[in-house]
């Protein structure tokens, strides 16, 4: 079975930290140059796949192997190739009417920032170019290029990093290439190590439950599981901050002299806005997947964004789903996090789930007002939780147990898990049972 160990790493000295930064910066720069060559061929040749592979990537590998090492430079090129192959596969699936797995028009692989605005520090290391030792003093060692070897004192010209925390899967049979990146939100270097573990290793005693996620504009995620649990992640506070930063960016842009389109302050605000959003997304995925793992969920269904945009046509909602929520990025983040827990993720159409009454099945007799869905048959419930329950029932033949009282989460700038700031009350709250519809047993009213 394929699993992933994710952990923080810490350089032992200031010199080692600079070596690591230079290594990741060079890796990102090589990715960008390879990606640019391929993107130019893709755009100039009307999107033909064969033309993308004509880029002279060997020359670019040679340019950076002095810093990265030949094996790592080669691995960066292979990782970019895999990203392009994945793009073409998604593009083919998107244009296949019988295939509903891809609901958004795929975009070619993106860039990792630039030197002027701040490059994303991210890189990969070939499976045989690094070693991990777990124990009381866990450590990571990896090969670096000869141009960096004289800048640290690690043995055998390898950079040594301290590992923080324990692995989820310490007893693995094989390892794949290592991914490294710098998390600007909390100033931490992190690593992701895909591993192969024995098929006898079980994630949970009975990992055969299912969950469905409804992606919303105000409530970021509404989740229902076949175990009867429901979770609601409120995104109003997050979007208000995102919107306020966007307005400040627009105000500063209006004051630029003619011919200028940006400034260091504006670029800094863009980076800050993105880091806040990504931090909240990462924490949401981690919190939710840990809960689903504990419940024995092995499959998660996510509703496609197309249905959200068809239903919610307002400018503000589209800004939430496109700019703030970054749906494609979120689904990829869910899938990567789920892989660590052995949970599979599938994107399916959720058409009409937000309008369908769970009691009578009608879609033309229902009315949605903010977070509440009502029907002429007498049903009243929380719209997003109802949609996630309906979506779940469509995707699985397994019986869905009676719903427990839903849990609502708010973001406190650090987590969704109910651990508040010292001066605040816990953010994990059970929705008032008086707002739960007795027939469908889902929460109603504002969230």
Domain positions in the chain are: 2-196, 209-435
Q: What is the mean pLDDT of residues 161-170?
A: 84
Query: Is the per-residue pLDDT at 343 higher than 70?
Result: yes
Name which of 72-76, 86-90, 423-427 the model is least confident about.
Answer: 423-427
Average pLDDT over residues 201-210: 63
The pLDDT-based confidence of 23 (bands split at 50, 70, 90) is: very high
pLDDT at 152: 58
Nearest 5°: CA angle at 279, between 277 and 280? 65
Q: Residue 251 burial (CB < 10 Å; 0-12/13-18/19+)?
A: exposed
Instruction: Out of 121-125, 187-191, 377-381, 400-404, pick the least confident.
Output: 400-404
Q: Is the pLDDT of residue 447 over 70?
A: no
pTM for this model (two decimals): 0.60
Half-sphere CA count of 352, side-chain side, radius 13 A: 10
Read off the pLDDT of each residue in 372-388 and give the average, rounded to a whole number: 90
Q: Residue 216 corresponds to which tokens in the numbers above? A: 């919303």
pLDDT value of residue 324:
65
> What is the Cα–Cα distance from 309 to 306, expressed in whole angstroms?
5
Query: Is the per-residue pLDDT at 209 higher than 60?
Result: yes
Residue range 209-435, CATH number: 3.30.420.140
Is the confidence at residue 311, as pLDDT, over 60?
Answer: no
Q: Work out the average pLDDT over 246-274.
A: 87
Please count the other Cβ atoms lying within 10 Å of the Cβ belonging to residue 255. 8
| pLDDT at residue number 208 | 81
| Lowest mean pLDDT across 62-71, 226-235, 327-336 | 327-336
Lowest mean pLDDT among 11-20, 132-141, 295-304, 326-335: 326-335
**pLDDT tops 70 at residue 354:** yes
Indicate if the pLDDT at residue 429 is higher than 60: no
Q: Would you tell me how many other CB atoms lie within 10 Å of the CB of residue 136?
A: 4
pLDDT band at 442 (very low <50, low <70, confident <90, very high): very low
Residue 397: pLDDT over 70: yes
Could you tell me what percent of the chain has a pLDDT over 90?
Answer: 26
When pLDDT is averaged across residues 64-93 and rounded to a whole number, the result is 91
Cα 402 to Cα 339: distance, rounded to the nearest angstrom: 28
């Amino acid at each position: 079975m394929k699993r992933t160990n994710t952990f923080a790493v810490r350089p032992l000295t200031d010199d080692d930290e600079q070596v690591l930064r230079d290594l990741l910066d060079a890796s990102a720069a090589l990715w960008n140059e390879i990606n640019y060559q391929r993107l130019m061929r893709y755009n100039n040749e009307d999107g033909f796949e064969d033309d993308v592979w004509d880029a002279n990537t060997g020359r670019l590998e040679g340019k950076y192997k002095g810093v990265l090492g030949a094996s790592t430079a080669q691995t960066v090129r292979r990782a970019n190739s895999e990203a392009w192959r994945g793009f073409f596969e998604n593009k083919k699936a998107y244009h296949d009417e019988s295939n509903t797995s891809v609901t958004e028009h795929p975009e070619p692989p993106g860039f990792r920032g630039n030197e002027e605005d701040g490059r994303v520090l991210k890189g990969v290391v070939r499976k045989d170019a690094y070693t991990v030792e777990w124990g009381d003093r866990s450590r990571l060692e990896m090969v670096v290029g000869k141009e960096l070897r004289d800048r640290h004192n690690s043995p055998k010209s390898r950079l040594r990093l301290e590992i923080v925390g324990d692995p989820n899967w310490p007893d693995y049979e094989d390892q794949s290439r290592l991914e490294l990146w710098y998390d600007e939100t909390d100033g931490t270097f992190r690593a992701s190590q895909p591993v192969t573990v024995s098929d006898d290793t079980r994630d949970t005693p009975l990992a055969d439950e299912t969950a469905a996620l409804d992606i919303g504009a105000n409530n970021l995620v509404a989740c229902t599981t076949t175990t009867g649990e429901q979770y609601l992640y409120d995104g109003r506070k997050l979007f208000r901050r995102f919107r306020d930063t966007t307005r400040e960016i627009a105000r500063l842009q209006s004051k630029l002299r003619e011919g200028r389109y940006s400034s260091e302050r504006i670029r800094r605000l863009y980076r800050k806005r993105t880091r806040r959003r990504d931090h909240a997304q990462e924490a949401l995925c981690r919190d939710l997947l840990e809960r689903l793992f504990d419940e024995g969920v092995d499959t998660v269904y996510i509703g496609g964004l197309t249905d959200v945009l068809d239903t919610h046509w307002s400018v503000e909602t589209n800004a939430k789903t496109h700019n703030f929520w970054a749906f494609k990025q979120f689904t990829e983040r869910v899938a990567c996090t789920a892989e660590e827990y052995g949970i599979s993720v599938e994107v399916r159409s959720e058409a009409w789930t937000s309008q369908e009454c769970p009691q009578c099945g009608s879609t033309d007799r229902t009315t949605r007002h903010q977070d509440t869905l009502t029907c002429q048959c007498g049903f009243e419930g929380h719209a997003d939780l109802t949609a996630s329950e309906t979506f779940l029932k469509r995707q699985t033949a397994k019986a869905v147990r009676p719903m427990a009282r839903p849990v609502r989460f708010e973001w406190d700038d650090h987590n969704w898990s109910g651990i508040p700031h010292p001066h605040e009350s816990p953010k994990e709250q059970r929705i008032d049972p008086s707002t739960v519809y007795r027939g469908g047993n889902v929460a109603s009213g504002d969230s």
